[in-house]
Structure 1
Amino acid sequence: MAKHKIYSMSVASVYPHYIKKAEKKGRTKAEVDEIIRWLTGYSQKELEAELEKQTDFETFFKEAPQLNPSQAFIKGVICGVRVEDIDEPTMQEIRYLDKLIDELAKGKAMEKILRES
């Protein structure tokens, strides 16, 4: 089965869209970066390096320093699909990121987005 085209897209090509979506709703680039770092374990410097290298989504998540174990608490629908029901791990991680950015744009508090108790 052929891989979805998002796997080969660079994170850097989608990143400005994440920023734009957040900023349109009064949120910041710093909050987007914090979400990405929380989900993947990249430091800010590492994240910037991955964006600079034009790393594709598949590699970005495969080589992530430490995927956050709390990602299992991310629930809901994105693109008409329940993120918790996605079987393919990389696609699920991509959709987790989409869901978190969506929550940011909807005005959810960072503590809730980052699943802090």
Structure 2
Amino acid sequence: MKNEKVYAMRVASVYPHYVTKAEKKGKTKEDVDEIITWLTGYDEEALQRILESDTDFKTFFEEAPNKNPNRKLIKGVICGMRVEEIEEPLMQEIRYLDKLVDELARGKKKENIFRTEK
């Protein structure tokens, strides 16, 4: 039940918090957008439409045009959970995004945020 509330949250209601978190650490809205497009495959235009609509997180991730396969390389703790151990696929996608925004705000270099196979 708790997760259902998260899934139903509008992306547009959370997005400003991502941007604020990044900007407090000297990053930009464009940096946040770049992370979102890397993770999901949405382009800038599609992301803008989502932010102007009532799109919830469930729909946002289910309809993502090209989820980056390297997102599975995202590891670590966010909100007290290890992202690689989250069993619910949709919650894992949401936490991937949270983790990337957190890394951006902590000053991690983008080439490290955008995981690549080694």
TM class by shorter chain equals over 0.9
| CA distance in 2: counterparts of 1:11 and 1:53, whole angstroms | 9
Q: Which residue of 2 aligns with 1:6?
A: 6
Say whether 1:90 aligns with 2:90.
yes
| CA distance in 1: counterparts of 2:46 and 2:100, whole angstroms | 20
| CA distance in 2: counterparts of 1:31 and 1:54, whole angstroms | 23
Question: Residue 21 of structure 1: CA displacement?
Answer: 0.1
Question: Residue 115 of structure 1: CA displacement?
Answer: 1.2
Q: Which residue of 2 aligns with 1:61?
A: 61
Mind listing any 5+ residue stretches in structure 1 that lack a counterpart?
Answer: none
Q: Which residue of 2 aligns with 1:43?
A: 43
Equivalent pairs, count = 116
State, as a whole percentage, how many aligned pairs show the same letter.
66
Q: Which residue of 1 aligns with 2:20?
A: 20
| CA distance in 2: counterparts of 1:110 and 1:79, whole angstroms | 21
TM-score, normalised relative to structure 2: 0.95
Q: Which residue of 1 aligns with 2:29?
A: 29
Question: Residue 54 of structure 1: CA displacement?
Answer: 2.1
Q: Return the letter of the residue paired with 1:98.
A: D
Question: Residue 3 of structure 1: CA displacement?
Answer: 5.5
TM-score, normalised relative to structure 1: 0.96
| CA distance in 1: counterparts of 2:14 and 2:39, whole angstroms | 16
RMSD: 1.0
| CA distance in 2: counterparts of 1:50 and 1:31, whole angstroms | 17
| CA distance in 2: counterparts of 1:80 and 1:115, whole angstroms | 22
Q: Return the letter of the residue paired with 1:85.
A: E
| CA distance in 1: counterparts of 2:19 and 2:6, whole angstroms | 18
| CA distance in 2: counterparts of 1:68 and 1:89, whole angstroms | 14
Mind listing any 5+ residue stretches in structure 2 that lack a counterpart?
Answer: none
Q: Return the letter of the residue paired with 1:15.
A: Y
Task: Provide the secondary structure at the position in 1 that maps to 2:64.
Answer: coil
